[in-house]
């Protein structure tokens, strides 16, 4: 999902990354609004997500999963600086791209997202989230053992009841219906070596990119306490709040989210 540029220096290019099991499709409202405001907007499918042709068992690593974003950032025109937006698990895709290509990123926005900090391993926020939830959290979601060329890996297919009660509970019913039709199995890659590497994210690269965290105030899956814990890992990060937003803030509060993104982007070049 992309629209071409026109060379206007005030025109931003937003690159949006979905969370677990989702795809570019979940950004359809916000992409439309950003484009209507005169900006470029590119919503990406990570590997084996959305309309991406790979199957999850074929995706060997978190880096392979992140490849669509890494390739998109690498391909940015000379002098172009992107505004990256990551939702939920998508924050970790952003972190990897920021570490690799810090000079191509004007700002990174973490929407109710995993936002790691330099000097600590990327999985720290995932581990804390898993520590806080109860075994019943995933409700009717299905656990799937992937057939891979490596050791067997487990994926999860988000269940309709989980999505209705903890992800899309403030969103239009049509968006929940769309999600039940389009979600695919996903994995957090929590045991991937890249997730355990405490030297991966550096102050000089990842830490040099301007970051903002957007709190979804009515998130029933990653509550405010969890989101504030993530923010506290990175003192000085800009914080915005969206009242009434569930975990899928791009569906429940698309106009408010678009306004926040435009406000953040206007500060950085």
Tokens representing residue 182 in the block: 């389009």
Tokens representing residue 222 in the block: 């990653």
- The residue annotated as part of the active site, out of 45, 175, 247, 252, is 247
User: Residue 218: its pLDDT value, please?
Assistant: 98
- The residue annotated as part of the active site, out of 121, 219, 221, 222, is 219
> Which contacts qualify for 225-230: CB closer than 8 Å, 24 or more apart?
226/128, 226/129, 226/132, 227/112, 229/128, 230/110, 230/113, 230/114, 230/115, 230/125, 230/128
User: Residue 8: its pLDDT value, please?
Assistant: 56
**Distance between CA 76 and CA 101 in Å, rounded?**
10
Measured at the alpha carbon of residue 109, what is the angle toward residues 104 and 110, in degrees to the nearest 5?
A: 130
pTM of the model: 0.95
- The residue annotated as part of the active site, out of 52, 66, 87, 88, is 88
User: Residue 3: its pLDDT value, please?
Assistant: 35
Q: What is the pLDDT along the chain (269 residues), one digit of tens a residue?
A: 543 333 456 899 999 999 999 999 999 999 999 999 999 999 999 999 999 999 999 999 999 999 999 999 999 999 999 999 999 999 999 999 999 999 999 999 999 999 999 999 999 999 999 999 998 999 999 999 987 777 778 999 999 999 999 999 999 999 999 999 999 999 999 999 999 999 999 999 999 999 999 999 999 999 999 999 999 999 999 999 999 999 999 999 999 999 999 999 999 87
User: Residue 146: its pLDDT value, please?
Assistant: 85
HEC sequence for the chain = CCCCCCCCCCCCEEEEECCCCCCHHHHHHHHHHHHHCCCEEEEECCCCCCCCCCCHHHCCCHHHHHHHHHHHHHCCCCCCCEEEEEECCHHHHHHHHHHHCHHHEEEEEEECCCCCCCCCCCCHHHHHHHHHCCCCCCCCCEEEEECCCCCCEEEEECCHHHHHHHHCCCCCHHHHHHHHHHCCCECCCCCCHHHHCCCCCCCCCHHHCEEEEEEECCCCCCCHHHHHHHHHCCCCCEEEEECCCCCCHHHHCHHHHHHHHHHHHHCCC
User: Residue 81: its pLDDT value, please?
Assistant: 95
Other CB atoms within 10 A of residue 158 CB: 24
User: Residue 4: its pLDDT value, please?
Assistant: 39
88 is catalytic: yes
User: Residue 165: its pLDDT value, please?
Assistant: 98
203 is catalytic: no
User: Residue 152: its pLDDT value, please?
Assistant: 79
Tally of residues, the chain: 269
Tokens representing residue 148 in the block: 């891979």
CA-based end-to-end distance of the chain: 23
């Amino acid at each position: 999902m992309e629209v071409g540029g026109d060379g206007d220096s005030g025109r931003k290019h937003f690159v949006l990354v979905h969370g677990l099991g989702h795809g570019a499709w979940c950004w359809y409202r916000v992409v439309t609004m950003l484009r209507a405001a005169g900006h470029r907007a590119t919503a990406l499918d990570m590997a084996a997500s959305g309309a991406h042709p790979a199957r999850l068992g074929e995706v060997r690593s978190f880096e392979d999963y992140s490849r669509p974003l890494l390739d998109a950032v690498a391909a940015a025109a000379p002098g172009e600086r992107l505004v990256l937006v990551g939702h939920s698990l998508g924050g970790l895709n952003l972190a990897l791209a920021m570490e690799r290509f810090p000079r191509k990123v004007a700002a990174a926005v973490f929407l109710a997202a995993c936002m790691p900090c330099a000097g600590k391993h990327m999985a720290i926020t995932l581990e804390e989230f898993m520590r806080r939830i109860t075994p019943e959290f995933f409700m009717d979601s299905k656990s799937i053992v992937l057939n891979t060329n490596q050791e067997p890996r487990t994926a999860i297919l988000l269940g309709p009841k989980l999505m209705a009660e903890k992800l899309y509970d403030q969103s239009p019913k049509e968006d929940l219906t769309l999600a039940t039709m389009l979600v695919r199995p996903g994995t957090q890659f929590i045991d991937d070596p890249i997730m355990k590497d405490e030297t991966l994210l550096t102050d000089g690269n990842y830490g040099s990119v301007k970051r903002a965290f957007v709190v979804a105030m009515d998130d029933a899956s990653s509550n405010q306490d969890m989101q504030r814990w993530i923010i506290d890992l990175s003192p000085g990060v800009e914080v915005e709040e969206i009242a009434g937003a569930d975990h899928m803030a791009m569906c429940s509060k698309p106009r408010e989210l678009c306004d926040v993104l435009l406000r953040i982007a206007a500060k950085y070049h």
